[in-house]
Amino acid sequence: MDRRQTLEVETLEKEDGTVAARETGQAAGTPAAVRVARKAERKPSRDDIARALLHYAIVQNLKLGRGRELDRLQASIVEELAAQGFDRKAADAAFEDLVDKYGSGWTFQRKRHLRGDSKIDEAGG
């Protein structure tokens, strides 16, 4: 049986109007259940925070003319990625691409499940 079919998440509205999620079903506690609960609670993941932090660091350094600081940031991130097994030149090029995109005004698209007001709509998205 496919685990995704057994996963159920109950969405609960709290007294203060915020939304919480409670996992039910056989797949409760699995990574998929955790992701669904985070989505229902609108809780950012580690990757969401990391993307926002990198965007902020790049944009602020560009805006304030901190080229040296941006170079140090790039060198540290590329070094970390290389230590994890990524190709150093490819990591460096990917970082440069992000700097170019962010420098030209590129931003994130909002996630579909976060559109609208503070409550999750009935359709789950």
pLDDT per position as a tens digit, 31-56:
888 878 877 888 888 998 999 999 99
pTM over 0.75: no
Q: How many domains does the chain have?
A: 2
63: domain range? Answer: 46-103
Whole-number Å distance between alpha carbons of 13 and 9: 13
**Is residue 35 located within the same domain as residue 8?**
yes
Give the residue with greater pLDDT, 42 vs 65: 65
Q: If DSSP codes are grouped into helix, strand and coil, which group holds residue 11?
A: strand
Burial 68-97 (b: 16+ CB within 10 A, else e): eebeebbeebbeebeeeeeeeeebbeebee
**Is residue 36 located within the same domain as residue 50?**
no
pLDDT digits (tens, 9 = 90+) for 4-31: 444 455 555 556 665 555 545 545 678 8
Whole-number Å distance between alpha carbons of 31 and 4: 11
Residue 55 lies in a domain: yes
Q: Tokens in use for 13? A: 């509205």
**Is residue 33 located within the same domain as residue 52?**
no
Residue tagged 């994890």 (tokens) = 84
